[in-house]
Copies of this chain bind each other. A is one copy, B any other.
């Protein structure tokens, strides 16, 4: 086996595929380079053929999570719901996209699509509003996703029960509509 063949045994895409499946299994806190490498049956150092750092690998995962939003043309509220649902697709997806975005890494498919939707709706400050919408969506989705995960193994307090979760969709819609601004409200009316 030539070194060339060896380094080509996995490409960026196949490493990201495996890492994303592992994220869904173990969660972000336990997604180590060592663990990804073990799953691929390679040494951790082999991952650095494809990604210069763990952050760069996480950014690739963030791009995969948000890729369904790429150039989606929709009104602000249904688009925002699609962003939220894309974040929910993988365990800790919202937290991963939030962290990647905090470091200025990864693509901004979701934010760009929201900015375009705001422009079409005639909102003032579409660029700033798109960032504010992303901060709200990421905060909301991270919180809801952690609560859902805790509920799934019974760790949440009774105070975070049915009553608390039932209102979350209503709060999401209220937040999105308010942040989209008055022009958006007009066009929705």
Contact = CB atoms under 8 A, between A and B. Distances in A.
B146 A103 contact: yes
Given A142-B98, A155-B55, A103 B178 contact: no
Nearest to A125: B174
A86 B170 CA distance: 27
A116 to B, nearest CB: 18
Give the copy number: 2
A138 interface: yes
A132 B136 CA distance: 8
A160 interface: yes
A103 B99 CA distance: 20
A102 B150 contact: yes
Interface residues of A, number: 42
Contacts of A167: 128, 131
Given A102-B160, A135-B136, 7 more contacts: A98-B146, A102-B146, A102-B147, A104-B158, A132-B136, A138-B143, A175-B179
22 contacts: A98-B143, A102-B143, A102-B144, A102-B150, A102-B156, A103-B146, A103-B155, A104-B147, A104-B158, A104-B161, A105-B159, A128-B170, A131-B171, A132-B178, A135-B139, A135-B140, A137-B139, A138-B139, A138-B143, A139-B140, A139-B142, A178-B181
Interface of A: 29, 55, 98-99, 101-105, 125, 128-129, 131-132, 135-140, 142-144, 146-147, 150, 155-161, 164, 167, 170-171, 174-175, 178-179, 181
